[in-house]
Amino acid sequence: MSAFSLSDRRALVSGANTGIGQAIAVALAAQGARVTCAGRRACDETVAMIAARGGMGETLTLDFADPMAARDVFAGQGYSILINNAGIIRRADSLEFTEADWDAVMDVNLKALFFTTQAFAKAALDEGNTPAAVVNIASLLSFQGGIRVPSYTASKHGVAGLTKILANEWAAKGINVNAIAPGYIATNNTAALRADPARNDAIIERIPAGRWGAPEDIGGTAAFLCSPAARYIHGAVLNVDGGWLAR
């Protein structure tokens, strides 16, 4: 069997409706995983894409505005891969930022991520579904400060920290915990930036690769981090950014 195969593995990908989450779900299925595509809305398009490529996928409605939404999802279900991709953002000057916007972002991006991962790991260890893998979707703002997104920046710094502490605690138990920090990726969320000629040109000029990333660039990286080929990678926050942070 290939060192990159995910055959006979069961995965859950949160935020799998579109963009990066959708690409990750498709990539995992292409390597043989059975993928549960979780989102606030049904992930029918993603499941159809997986089926069209001969893979196995299913949809599951979960709203991570409730940080405990996934607490009963994993027990007895045979999951050995978790991708924490669901996330939200709120924008305002730090002087004007509200408690409601702070709490909404932290609940989805950090609290839900932790308790979802906790539930996954408990089930994997109780059922012997190891080796297992967790991949968290961090951000360039896990390393940088950004502007007008204080709760998002704090949450993504927190994702990097949680990735490391969980790797410290679980590596010897057979659970790999890592994160991907995407750069500027061409998704619905960045459509406005790409449509602004000045902003688009400034971003591309900063990226050594000379282009926006594609969601598939993140999908392939996630599939690798879940595979046996990555079995000695623990606690890494891997920037997939076309060289942005190296500039």
> What pLDDT sits at residue 191?
87
For the residues 74-94, what does the mean pLDDT come to? Answer: 97
Long-range CB contacts (< 8 A, 24+ apart) of 159-166? 159/84, 159/109, 159/110, 159/113, 160/237, 162/110, 162/113, 162/114, 162/117, 162/136, 163/136, 163/138, 163/235, 163/236, 163/237, 164/235, 164/237, 166/117, 166/121, 166/134
Tens digits of residue pLDDT in 178-206:
999 999 999 988 888 899 999 999 999 99
Burial class (CB in 10 A: 0-12, 13-18, 19+), 230: buried
Segment 14-27, tens digit of pLDDT: 999 999 999 999 99
Q: What is the pLDDT of residue 202?
A: 95
Strand partners, 12: 36, 82
Say what the pLDDT of residue 124 is.
98
The pLDDT value recorded for residue 189 is 80
Comparing CA positions, the residue from 81, 139, 130, 131 lying closest to residue 110 is 139
Three-state DSSP at 141 gives helix
Give the model's confidence band at 141: pLDDT under 50 very low, under 70 low, under 90 confident, else very high.
Answer: very high
145-175 pLDDT, tens digit each: 999 999 999 999 999 999 999 999 999 999 9
Does position 1 have pLDDT exceeding 90, yes or no?
A: no
**The pTM of the whole model exceeds 0.95:** yes
pLDDT at 192: 82
Q: What's the mean per-residue pLDDT of the chain?
A: 97
Residues with catalytic function:
152
Contact 86, 39 (CB under 8 A): yes
Q: Could you give all domains of the chain from N- to C-terminal order, each with its CATH number?
A: 10-246 (3.40.50.720)
pLDDT at 210: 97
**Segment 72-98 mean pLDDT:** 97
Whole-Å CA distances, 62 to 107, 215, 232: 14, 22, 31
pLDDT of residue 15: 97
CB 152 within 8 A of CB 89: yes
**% of residues, the chain, pLDDT over 90:** 97
For position 108, what pLDDT does the model report? 98
pLDDT in tens, 53-62: 999 999 999 9
In this structure, what token pair is assigned to residue 115?
């308790």
How much is the average pLDDT of 102-113?
98
Q: What is the pLDDT of residues 233-246, one digit of tens each?
A: 999 999 999 999 99
pLDDT value at position 20? Answer: 97
